[in-house]
Structure 1
């Protein structure tokens, strides 16, 4: 009996270790979902060569002095936001880049690459709008990317939609039986960079979010030295917050 129990424990331990190893090796396929966003490069409006990848994106409301740079969520087709962005922010030119490996952009997504790309994209927008104000919007995954930009560039105003404190903490909530802190390389820690942003900040919180539960936005807000403006959408889920009444108006009023 004892030998059988020990054997079963050994098998269970080996199976658990195998699962951990598989998840560690395959984690990028679990973190990023570019396969849902692919589009034709011929339909894009701008491109930037990063050496190892060409990033492409779309423009809304061209010709204005002020601009807004939009970083989308995971599996989000950012070009679908062009009409809304143009309607909500008629006095700003909107830039909607696809992450590397997403949309019409080349390359393979990864945290270090995406954060470096984001700074290069901001610099591109600054070069096109040398005297204008540049705001940044980040949704879900894009909230951590936008936070990084706000920590390293002069962002006039910052909007975070369904943000999180850390991808590690989000993953721990979904996989409490795994040693996520040791397995996850794609960490996207949002609090440290946000503490370096001293401009106005708007957080749009989805109260019924099951992908990034709202406690992560709450932890983010609580950890900042200055409380941002928070708009709560109690009935909104992760993927439908933009359909909630008042969503567009909240962004428009904040960035007007």
Structure 2
């Protein structure tokens, strides 16, 4: 009986270790879901080489000193978000970055590469635009907040942001040692403490991907005097931009 129990225990341990190994190897396939780029009327695509990747950026150009730089979610075609951004910022130039392997950009996505490309694009458009508002949605909120920690922005907007991807993943996979396995942790709350840029955080009341409690943990990390917080009622993680209040909030910054 003891031998049978030991055999079962060893088998379960081996299976568990195997599952941990699979999660470690394929974790980025579970985090990043590259999307093709749609051909959106009224926009154009510019191509830039960041040094180790060819990046596509969907833009809506304006002759103005102000610009908006947008980082999207992990399964988002950012070209489809440009219309909302134009509606909110009709007099500003819009730049939406297609992450590596998204929308025709080359390379493979990772936290390090996304932040590197975000900083690169910011520096590129800074040559043309004196005032840049950076917007990050969902996964992109982690990119935006790291860019904000290293560059001088006019404004920062975070839509459905998390405190850290590590905490979200640990909640989703509670039986696995996620904190040991995860490579791209996106510890946004650590960067929030260092910011001084005026910031707007927009959360969904019924967010089924990033719990509101995690967004509030991030909120508590910001210096209180720089942050504005809004929860849009009856919205979810993917439906928040369909709320009439969404464009109003963006337009009001």
User: For this structure pair, what is the TM-score category when the shorter chain's length is used for normalisation?
Assistant: over 0.9
| 1:70–1:95 Cα contact (<8 Å) kept | yes
| 1:39–1:104 Cα contact (<8 Å) kept | no
1:178 to 176, 179, 203: 176
The answer for the alignment partner of 1:200 in structure 2 is 198
The answer for the alignment partner of 1:62 in structure 2 is 62
The answer for the alignment partner of 1:15 in structure 2 is 15
The answer for the alignment partner of 1:2 in structure 2 is 2
| 1:60–1:85 Cα contact (<8 Å) kept | no
Indicate the SS of the match to 2:244. Answer: coil
The CA RMSD over aligned residues, in Å, is 1.4
The answer for the alignment partner of 2:112 in structure 1 is 112
Alignment of structure 1 residues 1-256 onto 2, 5 Å? 1-34=1-34, 36-38=35-37, 44-129=44-129, 132-226=130-224, 228-254=227-253
- 1:45 shift after superposition: 2.2
Q: Give distance in 1, aligned partners of 2:61 and 2:86.
A: 6
Q: Give distance in 2, aligned partners of 1:104 and 1:115.
A: 18
Indicate the SS of the match to 2:73. Answer: coil
Aligned length: 249
TM-score by length of 1: 0.93
| 2:195–2:223 Cα contact (<8 Å) kept | no
| 1:61–1:90 Cα contact (<8 Å) kept | no
Q: Give distance in 1, aligned partners of 2:110 and 2:11.
A: 34
- 1:171 shift after superposition: 0.2
Q: Where does the alignment leave 5 or more consecutive residues of structure 2 unmatched?
A: none
Q: Give distance in 2, aligned partners of 1:146 and 1:197.
A: 12
- 1:39 shift after superposition: 5.4
Q: Give distance in 1, aligned partners of 2:216 and 2:36.
A: 29
TM-score by length of 2: 0.95
Deviation by residue 1:75-115 (Cα, 9 ceiling, x = unmatched): 10100112221111012111111011111211110111111
